[in-house]
Structure 1
Amino acid sequence: MSGRVTQRNEAQATLAWNVALRKGEFTYQDISAETGIGIRNTTSLVRSWEARNAVMRIGRIGNRQGFRVRQDERPVAARRDGTAMRHETAAGNMWRAMRGLRVFTPTDIAAHSNTPTCHVALPAAQEYCQMLARAGYLKVERKAVPGRREAAYRLMRNTGPLPPRERRVRAVYDDNLCEFTHMAGGQ
């Protein structure tokens, strides 16, 4: 592994930690069986929690090494050398805020998404809301009146904990045929 945290890895780590919290005492195999994460990745996760004192070894549970959760907070993701990895993103914070609010404005999203380690500016929140509205994730509840009030949105497609993001695709477009003739990495 390159040490880079992907959204999938972050989701797996969150899922595994939630299982550990619920069980209180667990083995590598318990976490692997309940999450579907491979035993090798589960072992790596539990060892990283142990290195940060989030869990402690308690001896054997049956014939397997057992662990007990020491704290109720999710441990900070860390590289193998122990340095912390930043896993918090502006898009992730905005998406979580949208999932928790019924009707919201970009100002609401910016306010609910700011943390000590991740700043979300109002223009970024406006841009993210507009992108999600174009993609059909958000419905405009109240139109904006320039200079007087901003648009209000409602989340219509809550597809899960990972934030939707815009992707740029490289393609070859043939103006003679008025169609895409090649999509890089696609079909």
Structure 2
Amino acid sequence: MGAHQQRLASDQAAWNAARRLPKFSYAALAAEAGVPIERATRLTRGWVRVGVVEELGRVGSNKLIFRVCRDVETPPQSRPDQSAEGNMWRTMRALRAAFTPTDIAAHATTEAVRASTADAQAYCQMLVRAGYLKVARKAVPNRREAVYRLVKDTGPKPPRERRLRVVWDDNLAEVTHLPVAGSGGEA
């Protein structure tokens, strides 16, 4: 059996164990399935992300407890965000201490996703404005790039800039948010 088949069999064993247990912690799942606790943790977090396992809270010595909330036969695969922003964010989280836009673009580009240095630079600048990155070394135009450091790691999903549709009322000096389509606010 190849490494990929072994991993799939291990994932299936862990999923079957999670389905058998009424509630479980990372350690309990690891013991029941015979997988390393790091693997049990990674799988459980992925199952929570795709909505088949729910976190019930902390008990005892502050252990997180989970339960299967949507029983399916095979374990769902939690795929990371396959976008330029997703790849750049994962790269930043891995490099953490010091990186340039060129570093980010080089590590974030795959066969399926292209991240240019300009894309990486724009993403870094947006994250600096939002407080996720700090400038470790300023850029010198035409000589060297800025070096950034990740200071706010909020998890695996990439922070994204969004544009909001609002109405500005000069009479009241306030903003009114437009309802999102499908939220029942249309006329």
Q: Normalization by structure 2: what TM-score? A: 0.59
Give the direction of change, closer, same or farther, for the CA distance of 1:24–1:107 in structure 2 (3 Å limit): same
Q: Aligned partners of 2:145 and 2:21: how far apart in 1?
A: 45
- The alpha carbon displacement at 1:185 in A equals 3.6
Residue 4 of structure 2 corresponds to none
SS of structure 2 residue aligned to 1:144: coil
Give the direction of change, closer, same or farther, for the CA distance of 1:140–1:22 in structure 2 (3 Å limit): farther
The reply to whether residue 99 of structure 1 matches residue 99 of structure 2 is: no
SS of structure 2 residue aligned to 1:104: coil
For structure 1, list consecutive stretches of 5 or more residues without a partner in the other structure: 1-16, 50-74, 78-85
- Which of 116, 130, 136 lines up with 1:135 in the alignment? 130
The reply to whether residue 29 of structure 1 matches residue 19 of structure 2 is: yes
Aligned length: 133
SS of structure 1 residue aligned to 2:72: helix
2:72 maps to a residue whose letter is: T
The reply to whether residue 124 of structure 1 matches residue 113 of structure 2 is: no
- Which of 155, 176, 183 lines up with 2:150 in the alignment? 155
- Percent identity at matched positions? 47
SS of structure 2 residue aligned to 1:43: coil
Q: Aligned partners of 1:31 and 1:21: how far apart in 2?
A: 15
Q: Aligned partners of 1:122 and 1:32: how far apart in 2?
A: 49
Question: Do 2:81 and 2:87's aligned partners in 1 also have CA atoms closer than 8 Å?
Answer: no
- Which of 180, 183, 187 lines up with 2:177 in the alignment? 183
Question: Do 1:113 and 1:119's aligned partners in 2 also have CA atoms closer than 8 Å?
Answer: yes
Q: Aligned partners of 1:131 and 1:183: how far apart in 2?
A: 23
Q: Aligned partners of 2:142 and 2:22: how far apart in 1?
A: 54
Residue 82 of structure 2 corresponds to 88
- The alpha carbon displacement at 1:158 in A equals 0.4
Q: Bigger shift: 30-39 or 107-116?
A: 30-39
Q: Aligned partners of 1:94 and 1:31: how far apart in 2?
A: 37
Question: Do 1:28 and 1:42's aligned partners in 2 also have CA atoms closer than 8 Å?
Answer: no
Give the direction of change, closer, same or farther, for the CA distance of 1:149–1:133 in structure 2 (3 Å limit): same
- The alpha carbon displacement at 1:178 in A equals 2.9
1:137 maps to a residue whose letter is: Y
Question: Do 2:81 and 2:157's aligned partners in 1 also have CA atoms closer than 8 Å?
Answer: no
Q: Aligned partners of 1:96 and 1:120: how far apart in 2?
A: 13
Question: Do 1:97 and 1:113's aligned partners in 2 also have CA atoms closer than 8 Å?
Answer: yes
For structure 2, list consecutive stretches of 5 or more residues without a partner in the other structure: 1-6, 25-43, 54-67, 181-187
- The alpha carbon displacement at 1:30 in A equals 4.7
SS of structure 1 residue aligned to 2:16: strand
Q: Aligned partners of 2:160 and 2:22: how far apart in 1?
A: 29
